[in-house]
Amino acid sequence: MSSAAPTYDLGKLHGGLRLPAEKAESTAQQIQRMPVPKQIVLPIAQHVGEPAHPIVGIGENVRRGQLVAENWGSLSAPVHASTSGKVVAIEPWPVSRRFGNNAPCIVIDCDGEDLALESPDKGAPYKTYEPTELLERILQGGIVGLGGAVFPTGQKLMQARSMPLEFLILSGVECEPNISCDDRLIRDQSAEALGGAQILMHALNLPSCYVVIESDKPEAINAVGEAMAELDDKRIVLKQVPTIYPSGGEDQLVQLVTNREVPSGGLPTDVGCVVQNVGTAAAIYRWICEDEPLISRITTVTGPGVREPMNVLARVGTTVADVIDFAGGYNEGVDQLVIGGPMCGKSVSTDRVPLVKATNCILALTNTVIHDEPLPCIRCGECASVCPIQLLPQQLYWHTCADDEAKLRTYGLTDCIECGCCDLVCPSHIPLTAEFRNAKARMQELADEKARAERARRRFESRNERREQEKLDRDEELRRQKDNARKAGPEAIEEIVRRQRKKHDQQEDGEE
């Protein structure tokens, strides 16, 4: 079908690296569905923004799909029970470092029944919703960006709606080594991902959609081609792109697919594009068409430290230990566990951490190479040649060492996407990305502190202004009453002064 024909008119991506894929083992078999574990652990912060607010109590029975923590504040996403059981604790639990080392979690002892919450909306066709209703509903489903950003999708789309939009870019690009959950999702669940794309196009009134897949994934390309032929929606077009890390980043993908450059500090919507991951689109389809909120995800469990590398469909809240068990257990000599891929992943110190909405990969490593102390920079320029943002990592590094915030801003530290390319090529083994990540965190802390101080200053000033005004009002009132009393004689004046003093003292006490 013509709609499935690949197109190659691509934009150019600066830098990047061609990395060995290491995905053959984990993609060899279909997605394996994990049984319900004995216990699930649901962090209330699984997304960018404010943590959700628990609305269940200890001892309460819950059902699959039931809301257990509601979104809180202007940027947040709700959390739903991923199976039925009893809430046994709401307490700090080890989590992936992205959300702090320990974070509040709702712990549920599963009853094994997996009873679902019944809903009257089940199966309502998406076109029966107004676009704004659809966006609100997407927010309620706890859907977040599954490509790694975990930004609440409903809010991202609401923001996008105010912009003139042209393209939905449905990303199946999975350029980081070892991670293959999106590849396997496209092979096994293309129809759901394309169904999600249609919902998104309806919600945002978008005229066209590019499904983007790397050219070294022929099975995924065939699978999506067949699904597109069946759907026969001419608005949806397949684009193949070369496998270059980090072409899966939103801005890089926009550049590659549309040849439009997202401005520094801007968003893809600034150039008419909305980027969504294929997993997010499939999750939207399941929520809107099958009434299943985001309670499970496909995760790659792989690496030399795991016996049977595979992609599992696991409930959100399943511990990494349970997932590894399901994949045949550990091999001898595991010395590092990483959540995410080898480039952007974060190592964890325990397999008690739960799988969350963001967990695209669990990587068990053996014989990890630990470099000695980094050597001095030799100004080879390799880091700059691979930086996809065209930054100058060696200069940024000097300014991080000097803690020079102004220079760091001038040299574009806030644009760094922490891809790790500069680290990988640095012959001096300087941990550039870690330095940049820390420097960004410090800058954010300073900005937060400044904002807090500014709020306190404004509070103090308005309190002083209020007190000053009250004092003026009191003096005015006293003057007025004295004038009146002068006519009534000295005793009346004394009484007024006594009353005013008492009132003043009471007000002072109240303020203290």
Binding-site string for ligand SF4 from residue 435 to residue 474, where x marks contact by CB under 6 A and - marks none: -x--------------------------------------
Q: Does 328 bind ligand SF4 (CB under 6 A)?
A: no
Restricted to residues 94-153, the positions that interact with ligand SF4 (CB under 6 A) are none
The Cα–Cα gap between 214 and 238 comes to 11
The Cα–Cα gap between 329 and 323 comes to 9
Q: Which is nearer to ligand SF4, 126 or 436 (CB)?
A: 436
Identify whether the C-beta of residue 40 lies closer than 8 Å to the C-beta of residue 296.
Answer: no
Question: Taking CA 327 as the corner, what is the angle to CA 321 and CA 328, rounded to the nearest 5 degrees?
Answer: 95
Strand 67-70 to 53-54 pairing = antiparallel
Identify whether the C-beta of residue 358 lies closer than 8 Å to the C-beta of residue 299.
Answer: no
Q: Which of 47, 258, 34, 300 is nearest to 153 (CA)?
A: 47
Residue 52 is encoded by which pair of tokens? 């959700």
Binder to ligand SF4 among 192, 420, 435, 439 (CB under 6 A)? Answer: 420
* Contact window for ligand SF4 (CB under 6 A) among 198-206, 289-297, 384-392, 466-474: 384-392
Q: Which is nearer to ligand SF4, 73 or 427 (CB)?
A: 427
Q: Does 433 bind ligand SF4 (CB under 6 A)?
A: yes
Q: Which is nearer to ligand SF4, 19 or 288 (CB)?
A: 19
Q: Does 401 bind ligand SF4 (CB under 6 A)?
A: no
Restricted to residues 339-378, the positions that interact with ligand SF4 (CB under 6 A) are 377-378
Q: Which is nearer to ligand SF4, 60 or 418 (CB)?
A: 418
Q: Does 434 bind ligand SF4 (CB under 6 A)?
A: no
What is the 8-class DSSP label of residue 330? B
The nearest distance, CB 367 to ligand SF4, in angstroms, is 25
The nearest distance, CB 108 to ligand SF4, in angstroms, is 38
Size of the site for ligand SF4 (CB under 6 A): 30
What is the 8-class DSSP label of residue 428? T
Binder to ligand SF4 among 277, 419, 435, 439 (CB under 6 A)? Answer: 419
Q: Which is nearer to ligand SF4, 274 or 432 (CB)?
A: 432
Provide the angle, in degrees to the nearest 10, between the axes of the packed helices 131-140 and 181-204: 140
Identify whether the C-beta of residue 170 lies closer than 8 Å to the C-beta of residue 250.
Answer: no
User: Which residues touch 118 (CB under 8 Å, ≥6 apart)?
Assistant: none
The nearest distance, CB 444 to ligand SF4, in angstroms, is 16
152 forms bridges with which residues in the sheet? 144
Q: Which of 168, 179, 124, 102 is nearest to 146 (CA)?
A: 179
Residue 244 CB neighbours (<10 A): 19
The nearest distance, CB 442 to ligand SF4, in angstroms, is 16
Binder to ligand SF4 among 36, 44, 186, 432 (CB under 6 A)? Answer: 432
What is the per-residue DSSP string for 258-269?
A: H--PPPTT--GG
The alpha carbons of the chain give a radius of gyration, in whole angstroms, of 28
The Cα–Cα gap between 83 and 317 comes to 10
Q: Does 387 bind ligand SF4 (CB under 6 A)?
A: yes
The nearest distance, CB 178 to ligand SF4, in angstroms, is 18
Binder to ligand SF4 among 358, 383, 408, 439 (CB under 6 A)? Answer: 383
Residue 238 is encoded by which pair of tokens? 């397949």
* Contact window for ligand SF4 (CB under 6 A) among 301-309, 317-325, 392-400, 486-494: 392-400
Binder to ligand SF4 among 160, 284, 422, 439 (CB under 6 A)? Answer: 422
Residue 115 identity (one-letter amino acid): L
The nearest distance, CB 431 to ligand SF4, in angstroms, is 10
Q: Which is nearer to ligand SF4, 92 or 427 (CB)?
A: 427
H helices of 327-404, where? Answer: 382-386, 393-401
Backbone torsion region of residue 59, taken as left when φ is above 0, otherwise alpha when ψ lies between -120 and 50, otherwise beta: left
Identify whether the C-beta of residue 127 lies closer than 8 Å to the C-beta of residue 201.
Answer: no
Q: Which is nearer to ligand SF4, 429 or 458 (CB)?
A: 429
The nearest distance, CB 414 to ligand SF4, in angstroms, is 10
Q: Does 418 bind ligand SF4 (CB under 6 A)?
A: yes
What is the 8-class DSSP label of residue 512? -
Beta strands in 126-187 (DSSP E): 167-171
Binding-site string for ligand SF4 from residue 205 to residue 244, where x marks contact by CB under 6 A and - marks none: ----------------------------------------
Binder to ligand SF4 among 212, 224, 228, 391 (CB under 6 A)? Answer: 391
Q: Does 381 bind ligand SF4 (CB under 6 A)?
A: yes
Instruction: Classify burial at 121, counting beta carbons within 10 Å of its beta carbon; exposed 0-12, middle 13-18, buried 19 or more.
Output: exposed
Q: Does 428 bind ligand SF4 (CB under 6 A)?
A: yes
User: Which residues form the interface with ligand SF4 (CB under 6 A)?
Assistant: 377-383, 386-389, 391, 393-394, 397, 416-422, 425-428, 430, 432-433, 436
